[in-house]
Structure 1
Amino acid sequence: MSEKTALSPGPASRVPTGITTGDLARRLGVSPTTVRSWDRRYGIGPAVRLDGTHRRWAPGDVAVLEEMCRLTAAGTPPAEAARAARASGGTPPPRPPVAAAAPAPGDVRREYRGVVHAAARLDGPALEALLAGAVAAYGAAAAWEDVMVPALHAVGRTWESSGDLCVEVEHLLSWHVSTALRRAPGSERRGPGAPVLLACVPAERHTLPLEALAAGLAERGLPLRMFGAAVPAEALDAAVRRTGPAAVTLWSQTRSTADHALAGHVAATGFGLRGARTAPLVLLAGPGWAGRNPPPGAVRPAGLREALELLTQRCGARSEDA
């Protein structure tokens, strides 16, 4: 074999570099059909095509598609997102700092759509960024009521209509919602004084609404103790007697879990010095408590914001008494 023949390029050396559409779709968390559709509709395509039809995506092409996904996850219409992704070459612009403000309806819709789309793609990094941004921009209460709850409901409806096909979407979204609420700013500035105890009743395991309340209290600098799901009655009684809380919030998602006897017992639990004993204010939070009057010493807030106001007033009054 001559040197010229030995050094001649073979078929393998002529194969273009880059990843296939299927590999790219798996990397982005979308379907190959979506990638091809974006190429046809918006010109977000690869620089190299094998035999004129088979797409091969180079690193620069991948970066543009990743920016396209980031923008659509944030609620940007696809055509506008495609133009911005092509113009940026796949490099996202720096995000300016956002000041806390009441969410405008259009902003909320964009945030909500972005969260739902990111959850459907199983895009954990996008979910983390979107939810953290909503909490930072609007506060925990508004982010919970206007972005997180609608997104959870939308994903839940999809799960119900498709059997178990979307259960992984709901689990991923719930985990990131919980993470965003626990990272809400304010925990480092909680003041002294009698805390607010937060607990699910013994048969209740839905904690996200209680975590939203905890995040709202933390933003206000109020002391709290979170006990989470399915707290046994004996453990709750011991915690009340040991901490002398200003208030106790009991969460019940359904009527089957609401424990009215336990609520009455907690509301009647006294602590403190003889002659100056006091009892906590009990908040019956959640739809499970509907249909019956609260026992003496307990109230049923209409929602998260009302619960925050009641607890803020209660903690302020206890601080003055102390």
Structure 2
Amino acid sequence: MTTGQLARLLGVSPTTLRSWDRRYGLGPAVRANGRHRRWSPDDVAMMRKMCHLTATGVSPAEAARLTQRHAPHADMAGAPGGETLLAAHGDDAEPMARHEQAGSGLPLGHVRLECRGLARAAVRMDGREVQQRLREAVAAHGPALAWEEVMAPALRAVGRKWQSSGERYVEIEHLLSWHISTTLRHRYVESSAHGDRRALALPLVLACPAGEYHTLPFEALAAVLADDGLTVLTLGGAVPPDALMNTVQRVAPAAVALWSQTRPTADLRLARRVAATRWGVRGARSSSPVLLCGPGWRSPTDGSGDLRHVKSLREAVRVLTEFQRRCAPVR
């Protein structure tokens, strides 16, 4: 296999493979005609191991040590560019991490190893590894912590990189967003099907106002609520006002949560209209409190008890849980 073929197989650039060879001696055991790289099945297995380790957050230098320790072709000290070169760079784990952040990597700062591994897989455009990292994070920590400490920091880093690099990193943001959405929705569906359902409880309605398409934070909220056994009805992004009003009248929600990422989509008039909507049979009509979520909203200034502004995922979960548990079951 040529270097280009291996790079396509692993989802990395040929430059990355050459860099790992030059820095750590992770090259093919045999070179055709003395110069041209040809990667054998053992070489491919070794590089798969290297990619897997870096995707889990291990520094490239440490990943190279571990990979060479278990390499199929044993005597790395005798291989050209092997142990001697690795020893020359043996203590460069931290400088390498700084190099990645300043160059092709993402400006993550102090984050969990799972977040660092997720970001590295995203930068390599390794969709399979991105999905695996996300599944493992949600399985290990639950959707709330996985969102707050793994997914959201990686997304913010991509956003910062995109702003400073023009359009170069937009494909990474799309890849990461798509896989995060897939993971959160899968958790929501799975929890809704197998969780401790309160089948008779009034649902919690989650929606974004017209013009708002940033749905990932709300998908995280839906996954966390479903994980906690609450009944949730999600309408997604850019819901027309009349559609939202019709939904409130039809399903009589315990509460309505509206997400706005930006000021232009934070329609306070719509929020008040939803809060004032009456539903139920004549003589026993009621209304639904409205939760304003996201950085687009300003705190309501009218003191209305039907509008409540929350500033974090945890606060939204606590308030919505309280709203649903207050409602008596209906037949």
In structure 1, the residue matched to 2:133 is: 130
Is 2:326 aligned against 1:317?
yes
The verdict on how the C-alpha distance between 1:291 and 1:243 changes in structure 2, with shifts beyond 3 A counting, is closer
Kindly indicate whether the alpha-carbon contact (under 8 Å) linking 2:7 and 2:17 is maintained by their aligned counterparts in 1.
yes
SS in 1 for 2:281: coil
In structure 1, distance between residues paired with 2:330 and 2:163: 50
Task: Give identity over the alignment, percent.
Answer: 55
In structure 2, distance between residues paired with 1:45 and 1:117: 21
Is 2:151 aligned against 1:148?
yes
In structure 1, distance between residues paired with 2:286 and 2:299: 28
In structure 2, distance between residues paired with 1:63 and 1:88: 10
Any residues of structure 2 matched to 1:243-258 within 5 Å, and which? 243-258=251-266
Counterpart residue type for residue 273 of structure 1: V
Is 2:177 aligned against 1:169?
no
RMSD of the alignment, in Å?
Answer: 2.0
1:189-238 Cα distance to aligned partner (Å, 9 max, x none): 23211100010001211111110110011101111111111101100000
Match of 1:81 among 50, 57, 63: 63
Kindly indicate whether the alpha-carbon contact (under 8 Å) linking 2:300 and 2:308 is maintained by their aligned counterparts in 1.
no
SS in 2 for 1:183: helix
In structure 2, the residue matched to 1:216 is: 224
In structure 2, distance between residues paired with 1:107 and 1:158: 16
Kindly indicate whether the alpha-carbon contact (under 8 Å) linking 1:267 and 1:296 is maintained by their aligned counterparts in 2.
no
Kindly indicate whether the alpha-carbon contact (under 8 Å) linking 2:111 and 2:153 is maintained by their aligned counterparts in 1.
no
1:12-59 Cα distance to aligned partner (Å, 9 max, x none): xxxxxxx11122122222222221221233232212102322211011
Counterpart residue type for residue 306 of structure 2: G
Kindly indicate whether the alpha-carbon contact (under 8 Å) linking 1:196 and 1:247 is maintained by their aligned counterparts in 2.
yes
TM, length-normalised to structure 2: 0.83
Match of 1:35 among 11, 17, 28: 17
1:284-320 Cα distance to aligned partner (Å, 9 max, x none): 0111112542644010112100000011111111146
In structure 2, distance between residues paired with 1:166 and 1:240: 40
Kindly indicate whether the alpha-carbon contact (under 8 Å) linking 2:202 and 2:329 is maintained by their aligned counterparts in 1.
no
Q: Is the radius of gyration larger for structure 1 or structure 2?
A: 1
In structure 1, the residue matched to 2:185 is: 182
SS in 2 for 1:221: coil
* Deviation, structure 1 residue 81: 1.4
1:113-159 Cα distance to aligned partner (Å, 9 max, x none): 11111111111111101111111111111111111111001111111
Match of 2:281 among 258, 273, 284: 273
Match of 1:288 among 282, 291, 296: 296
SS in 1 for 2:286: coil
In structure 1, distance between residues paired with 2:329 and 2:306: 20
In structure 2, the residue matched to 1:300 is: 309
In structure 2, distance between residues paired with 1:158 and 1:25: 23
Kindly indicate whether the alpha-carbon contact (under 8 Å) linking 1:48 and 1:55 is maintained by their aligned counterparts in 2.
yes
Any residues of structure 2 matched to 1:30-69 within 5 Å, and which? 30-69=12-51
In structure 1, distance between residues paired with 2:278 and 2:49: 58
In structure 2, distance between residues paired with 1:120 and 1:210: 25
In structure 2, distance between residues paired with 1:145 and 1:53: 48
Unaligned ranges ≥5, structure 1: 1-18, 91-105
* Deviation, structure 1 residue 250: 0.6
